Amino acid sequence: MTSAQIEIQLIAAVVAAACALPGVFLILRRTAMMSDAISHAILLGIVLAFLVTEDLTSPFLIVAATLTGVLTVLLVEILHKTRLVKEDAAIGLVFPVLFSIGVILIARFAGSVHLDTDAVLLGELAFAPFNRLVVFGVDIGPRSLYLMGGILVINLVFILLFFKELKLSTFDAGLAASLGFMPWILHYGLMTLVSVTAVGAFDAVGSILVVALMIGPPAAAYLLTERLSSMLILSAIIGIVGAIAGFWIANWTDVSIAGTMASMIGVVFVLVYVFSPGRGLLATVRRRILQKWEFALAMLVIHLSQHENQPEAVNECRADHLTEHIRWNAEFARRVVRLAKHRELIVETNGHLRLTSVGHSLAARRVVG
């Protein structure tokens, strides 16, 4: 690995972790699409600030863009409060306007601005190591590593400091408000974090893939755990794994790094969705199949215990009668009986089924509850 490759991976990992942390709250608070709106709208702030300062590295750029992000949230809320449009429509109305103005400004001033639409959508992670941070004449590393590192620390500190408040206002906004926590302050705090993170990550991965980094990992983590703290840690890990895997695939196939990072996060999500032990697709299918057999077994033992010691028992408690009585097909009935024998719920003598003591207790349990 060259030092540039190591630096790119470091930046990618830091960007992924910084995005995943606030993303967890976006997913849980059902405001994920707000990150889409913010990441588009900050383009306008970046362009305007750039036109004023003519310096892409100016800290003023970050402040202006962050403010545009928060302004977007504010505009969406104002529009929603008029009760003339629903919230999803409000989001869908506000960010295209701001983004459009940004794109038009770029197109109009394309000659003098080192911003083009490709950079807007893709970012350019591969160039990140070229932009060095030099302090007192000493090169201490790529600038974006420090920028995103700083943002990661801010996110961590905010979440650790207000963990209890965030948790409460996320899961029970009403209670949080009645206890005097003022959920709207936390809401705007969180949106400012999302905004500043999107601005910082914009350079590296572009406006739309910021959304993938913010929403993808927490969505996957949500399928793995129900604890907020483990969801935060898992999200960060998934984001980093996706970012590093994306980097190597882009490296081998020579395509956009940001694009492969987003794609890999998609792949991780699909894997988690299929294989997650609790909520995954396979686990769900397995559970349904198990339920089917458990239910069939319960039917069988209850049926047998109903007719046990009755005059009709000779007839009813025969294996080949099940197709008629419970309307199972012959194959299914055979397999249920075999499973029941295997579990020692019943014994069969000349086609006559009799409950064992285990079978009796199961029947009793199932009938009662």
Q: What is the binding site for another protein (CB under 8 A)?
A: 26-27, 30-33, 35-36, 40, 79, 82, 84-86, 88-89, 91-93, 96-97, 99-101, 103-104, 107-108, 110, 117, 121-122, 208-212, 214-216, 218-219, 222-223, 250, 253-256, 258-263, 265-266, 269, 273, 279, 281, 284
Q: Which is nearer to another protein, 3 or 253 (CB)?
A: 253
Work out how close the CB of 93 gets to another protein at its nearest, in angstroms, rounded to a whole number. Answer: 6
- Let me know the angle formed at the C-alpha of 159 by 153 and 164, rounded to the nearest 5 degrees: 155
Q: Which is nearer to another protein, 146 or 273 (CB)?
A: 273
Work out how close the CB of 264 gets to another protein at its nearest, in angstroms, rounded to a whole number. Answer: 9
Q: Which is nearer to another protein, 63 or 281 (CB)?
A: 281
Distance of CA 123 to CAs 12, 42, 119, 205, 249, Å?
12, 14, 4, 4, 17
Instruction: Find out whether 42 and 202 touch, Cβ atoms under 8 Å.
Output: yes
Work out how close the CB of 110 gets to another protein at its nearest, in angstroms, rounded to a whole number. Answer: 7
Q: What is the DSSP annotation of 84-138?
A: SS-HHHHHHHHHHHHHHHHHHHHHHTTTT-S--HHHHHH--GGGGGGSEEEETTE
Q: Which is nearer to another protein, 54 or 118 (CB)?
A: 118
Work out how close the CB of 87 gets to another protein at its nearest, in angstroms, rounded to a whole number. Answer: 9
Bin 55: left if φ > 0, else alpha if -120 < ψ < 50, else beta: beta
Work out how close the CB of 326 gets to another protein at its nearest, in angstroms, rounded to a whole number. Answer: 30
Q: Which is nearer to another protein, 38 or 151 (CB)?
A: 38
Instruction: Find out whether 38 and 69 touch, Cβ atoms under 8 Å.
Output: yes
Q: Which is nearer to another protein, 277 or 351 (CB)?
A: 277
Work out how close the CB of 89 gets to another protein at its nearest, in angstroms, rounded to a whole number. Answer: 4
Go through the chain and tell me how many residues it has. Answer: 369
Work out how close the CB of 104 gets to another protein at its nearest, in angstroms, rounded to a whole number. Answer: 5
Q: What is the DSSP letter of 318?
A: B
Half-sphere exposure of 180 (CA within 13 A, CB side): 0
Q: What is the DSSP letter of 54?
A: -
Q: Which amino acid is at 368?
A: V
Q: Which is nearer to another protein, 144 or 260 (CB)?
A: 260
HEC readout, 10-49: HHHHHHHHHHHHHHHHHHHCCCHHHHHHHHHHHHHHHHHH
